[in-house]
């Protein structure tokens, strides 16, 4: 079975982590000092939170890192029993190989129930001598204050296009594939600062073609092409509803996009349309309402057509 590239090319050292320079510098300082506090990694998906935790464990523990590092996903195991059972049992056992303590990495910690977080707070406090906790989450506001006050909080930001481009070219060289300028631009647009998403899409495209261009990227990622989304908005704003409806047919049938995909595509290009700012604000408000209806189960075809009908009726 072909290896997943996000794991195959996961950095094994903190120096290899792309972006997040301040976070990496701080973690290296902790690793070299021989002591690590409880930590909270907060930020969007695909920005290096799990990678930094694993790289830190490898640098700190060396060859014994697997015996002293436990990774749990709180979204799968989010109840009170998990904290009282598996986490507590691992935390209170002695570290292996002369290590000063173990590390528990709790991914998606914001999915823990309030009761589980309260139990976790007590566990963190009681077993500090034998265990350190690294909590990872997308929204730190969902972590209770007592836990946040016990942790050093690191904020992870979306990666820049240049950082993602550099790493994608590194992978392309290793895998002997070619990424065209148009293909790279498309990959960066689709990724939106998410390195994992960029690598996964690159691997999917590479399974089909050795030369990656924009056409195959958009086809495999289920993302509306910016030029097509822009054309749909501009046609609608001109009042040509029937032509806009034909464009919508292409996006639904030929491109195979869902209603949510189309809404996201329209939202990403609306700011590039030469249109009064107040009207743009009204359009975005309408897009939010349409997306809510789709998510709640309304017919996506009818809802998107309602949106382009609304755009067609707007007077600049």
Q: pLDDT at residue 81 above 70?
A: no
Mean pLDDT of 139-155: 91
Provide the pLDDT for residue 3. 83
Percent of the chain with pLDDT over 90: 50
Q: What is the pLDDT of residues 25-61, one digit of tens each?
A: 999 999 888 889 999 999 999 999 999 999 999 999 9
How confident is residue 316, by pLDDT bands cut at 50, 70 and 90? Answer: very low
Structural domain boundaries in the chain: 5-155, 161-221, 226-313
Domains 5-155 and 161-221 share a fold: no
How confident is residue 83, by pLDDT bands cut at 50, 70 and 90? Answer: low
Q: What is the pLDDT of residues 183-216, one digit of tens each?
A: 999 999 999 899 999 999 999 999 988 899 988 9
CA dist., res. 143 & res. 40, Å (int) = 9
- Classify domain 5-155 at the CATH superfamily level: P-loop containing nucleotide triphosphate hydrolases (3.40.50.300)
CA dist., res. 48 & res. 59, Å (int) = 16
Q: What is the pLDDT of residues 164-189, one digit of tens each?
A: 999 999 999 999 999 999 999 999 99
Q: For domain 226-313, which CATH number applies: 1.20.272.10, 3.50.50.60, 1.10.10.60, 2.40.50.100? A: 1.20.272.10
Judge whether 139 and 102 are in contact, CB under 8 Å: no
Provide the pLDDT for residue 78. 58
Give the tokens for residue 161: 């296009």
Q: pLDDT at residue 272 above 80?
A: yes
Highest mean pLDDT among 61-65, 72-76, 150-154: 150-154
Q: Which fold has domain 161-221?
A: Helicase, Ruva Protein; domain 3 (1.10.8)
Mean pLDDT of the chain: 88
User: Hey, what's the torsion of the CAs at 265, 271, 273, 276, to 10 degrees?
Assistant: 140
Provide the pLDDT for residue 257. 87
For 94-128, b where at least 16 C-beta lie within 10 A, e where not — what string?
ebeeebebbbbbbbbbbbbeeebbebbbebbeebe
Residue 261's contacts (CB-CB under 8 Å, 6 or more residues apart) are 222, 223, 224
Provide the pLDDT for residue 1. 42
CA dist., res. 193 & res. 179, Å (int) = 18
How far from chain centre, in Å, is Cα 223?
A: 16
Provide the pLDDT for residue 185. 93
Query: For the whole prediction, is pTM greater than 0.75?
Result: yes
HSE, CB side, 13 Å, CA atoms: give it for residue 22: 7
3-class SS of residue 294: helix
CA dist., res. 146 & res. 127, Å (int) = 16
């Amino acid at each position: 079975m072909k290896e997943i590239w996000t794991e195959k090319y996961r950095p094994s050292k903190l120096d290899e982590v792309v972006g997040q320079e301040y976070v990496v510098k701080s973690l290296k300082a902790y690793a070299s000092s021989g002591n690590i506090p409880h930590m909270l990694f907060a930020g969007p998906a695909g920005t290096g939170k799990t990678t930094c935790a694993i790289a830190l464990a490898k640098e700190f523990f060396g060859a014994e890192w697997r015996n002293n590092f436990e990774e749990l996903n709180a979204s799968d195991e989010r109840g009170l029993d998990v904290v009282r059972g598996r986490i507590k049992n691992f935390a209170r056992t002695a570290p292996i190989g002369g290590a000063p303590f173990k590390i528990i990495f709790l991914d998606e910690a914001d999915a823990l129930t309030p009761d589980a977080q309260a139990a976790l707070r007590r566990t963190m406090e009681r077993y500090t001598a034998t265990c350190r906790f690294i909590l990872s989450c997308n929204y730190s506001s969902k972590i209770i204050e007592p836990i946040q006050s016990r942790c050093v909080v690191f904020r992870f930001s979306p990666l820049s296009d240049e950082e993602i481009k550099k790493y994608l070219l590194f992978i392309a060289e290793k895998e002997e594939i070619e990424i065209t300028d148009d293909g790279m631009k498309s990959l960066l647009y689709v990724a939106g600062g998410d390195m994992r998403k960029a690598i996964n899409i690159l691997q999917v495209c590479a399974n089909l073609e050795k030369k990656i261009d924009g056409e195959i990227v958009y086809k495999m990622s289920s993302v509306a092409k910016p030029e097509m989304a822009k054309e749909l908005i501009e046609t609608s704003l001109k009042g040509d509803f029937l032509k806009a409806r034909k464009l919508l047919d292409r996006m639904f049938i030929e491109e195979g996009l869902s209603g949510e995909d189309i809404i996201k595509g329209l939202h990403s290009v609306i700011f590039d349309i030469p249109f009064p700012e107040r009207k743009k604000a009204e359009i975005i408000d309408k897009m939010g309402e349409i997306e809510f209806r789709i998510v709640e189960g309304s017919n996506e075809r009818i809802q998107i057509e309602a949106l382009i009908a609304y755009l067609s009726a707007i007077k600049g």
